[in-house]
Amino acid sequence: MSGFRHVVMFEWAEGTTTSQQEEVRTRLAALPAVIPEIRDYSLGHDAGVNEGNFDFVVVGDFADRDAYLAYRDHPAHREVITEVITPIVARRAALQYDL
């Protein structure tokens, strides 16, 4: 497979509710229907097997860097970040790489 992958992990701030976490998941899960550049999209809460892990991960696959940039800057994606992620995130780690 060729393409471009984006991986981002979040640690939620202390006091973040289950409802807030589910809203993040629901809002992100809706993005593939709105942003055609998303080729594959996977979301998940940490399984709790190991201590010290992040709380949530997003893995997005795109045809190329330009498709990723279209996703990154898309108003629907920016809205999710601004409205539901930024208010509850304590720590974020991300990377992108060629497949």
Domain that holds residue 21: 4-98
- Pseudo-torsion of CA 6, 72, 93, 81, nearest 10°? -130
In eight-state DSSP terms, residue 83 is: I
**pLDDT value of residue 35:** 98
d(CA 76, CA 87): 17
Average pLDDT over residues 57-79: 98
CATH of the domain at 81: 3.30.70.100
Please say whether the beta carbons of 99 and 24 come within 8 A.
no
pLDDT band (50, 70, 90) for residue 16: very high
pLDDT for 1 beyond 80: no
pLDDT band (50, 70, 90) for residue 94: very high
Q: Structural domain tally of the chain?
A: 1
Integer-rounded Cα Rg, in Å, for the chain is 13
The proportion of the chain whose per-residue pLDDT surpasses 70, expressed as a percent, equals 99
Q: Tens of pLDDT along 24-41?
A: 999 999 999 999 999 999
User: Beta-carbon neighbour count of residue 50 at 10 Å?
Assistant: 7
